[in-house]
Structure 1
Amino acid sequence: MADFATSEELKARLDWTLDADEERIATAALEDASDLARYHAGRDWPDAASAPRLVRTLVLKACKRYMTNPSGYVQSRAGDETLGWNDTQGENAGTVYYTDDEQKLLAEIGGRKPGLVSAEVSAWGSVCRPMVAGLVPVAQSARGSKPFPLFSDEVEPW
């Protein structure tokens, strides 16, 4: 599986020149971000060129976020050597990750729409019978097997 972005595209988005070790980390970050994009989208594209451009943009955004702050710090002070992490990133701190909004966007790109879904439910072995307006169907073995009126109508009152 090909990565959705190249290291040259990532280097163009960074403010500094990468050394050999950072290039190795950037290559691994692009692989991780591409795998995560496939996971969140719920699909795979045959090659990187066939994927929507927004997937490439999100991969580069996640990689830039990681390369800029690989340890996941949210607070840093130079005076007393204070460093801090935030619990909102949780297990994603210090890794390549997508924000909740990016995950939702990738899911929509992949064709998964969030929301409620209704599914028809029926009993095992049930038989669909035509409904007559205002009448409740009765089991065949019941006496008379005639539908029971639920409410009156203009043609056949109680």
Structure 2
Amino acid sequence: MANFATLAELQGRLDWTLDADEERIANSALEDASDLASHYAGRDWPDASAPRMVRAMVLKACKRYMTNPAGYTQSRAGDETLGWNDTQGENAGTVYFTNEEQKLLAGIGGRKPGLVSVQVSAWNSVHRPVTAGLVPVDPPGADFPLFADGVEPW
């Protein structure tokens, strides 16, 4: 599977020039983010045909990771205090997509959440068309009249 974004595109979004070690980490982050994007979208695109929004979200997730690879939420220079909290949970210090980004990727991939209607029938049942005012009975034969007539059932 190909990455949805390039190292050069990621470098364009960062405020510093990557050294060799950071380039290695950035390439891994691009791979991870592309794999996650395919997972959340429920499909894979060849790198050239991926929607621009997918590429933008991959770059955003990689920039978030490269800017703060350890997942710190608090930092003080005076007493060298660093802090984490549970808002990122298990995603702290990894490449991740937020809940909103995950929903957007699912929508781009065609995975729409919601309710659907499904016809339900008993196993080995036979569908017989019902005429107005009559109810089918078992064993098959003359149907039971439920309404007065087919034209004016009530």
Deviations for 1:27-70, whole angstroms, at most 9, x for unmatched residues?
Answer: 1000100111111111111x211111111101000000000111
TM-score by length of 2: 0.90
- Tell me the CA shift for residue 154 of structure 1: 7.3
Question: Are residues 1:93 and 2:92 paired?
Answer: yes
Whole-Å separation in 1 of the counterparts to 2:151 and 2:38: 61
- Tell me the equivalent position of 1:11: 11
CA RMSD in angstroms, aligned pairs only: 2.0
Question: Are residues 1:25 and 2:25 paired?
Answer: yes
- Tell me the equivalent position of 2:69: 70
Question: Are residues 1:59 and 2:55 paired?
Answer: no
Whole-Å separation in 1 of the counterparts to 2:109 and 2:132: 43
Deviations for 1:86-145, whole angstroms, at most 9, x for unmatched residues?
Answer: 21211111000001111111111111111112211111110111112233221126xxx4
- Tell me the CA shift for residue 148 of structure 1: 2.7
Whole-Å separation in 2 of the counterparts to 1:150 and 1:78: 83
Displaced runs of 4 or more, over 6 A: none
Whole-Å separation in 1 of the counterparts to 2:72 and 2:85: 7
Whole-Å separation in 2 of the counterparts to 1:151 and 1:76: 77
Whole-Å separation in 1 of the counterparts to 2:38 and 2:108: 10
- Tell me the equivalent position of 1:147: 143
C-alpha change, 1:88 and 1:157, in structure 2 (3 Å) is: closer
Q: How does 1:119-158 map to 2 (within 5 A)?
A: 119-140=118-139, 145-153=141-149
- Tell me the CA shift for residue 153 of structure 1: 4.5
C-alpha change, 1:155 and 1:117, in structure 2 (3 Å) is: closer
> Which runs of 5 or more residues in structure 1 are unaligned?
none
Count of residue pairs the alignment pairs up: 154
> Which runs of 5 or more residues in structure 2 are unaligned?
none
- Tell me the equivalent position of 1:109: 108
Letter in 1 for 2:22: E
C-alpha change, 1:133 and 1:18, in structure 2 (3 Å) is: same
- Tell me the equivalent position of 2:80: 81
TM-score by length of 1: 0.88
- Tell me the CA shift for residue 85 of structure 1: 1.7
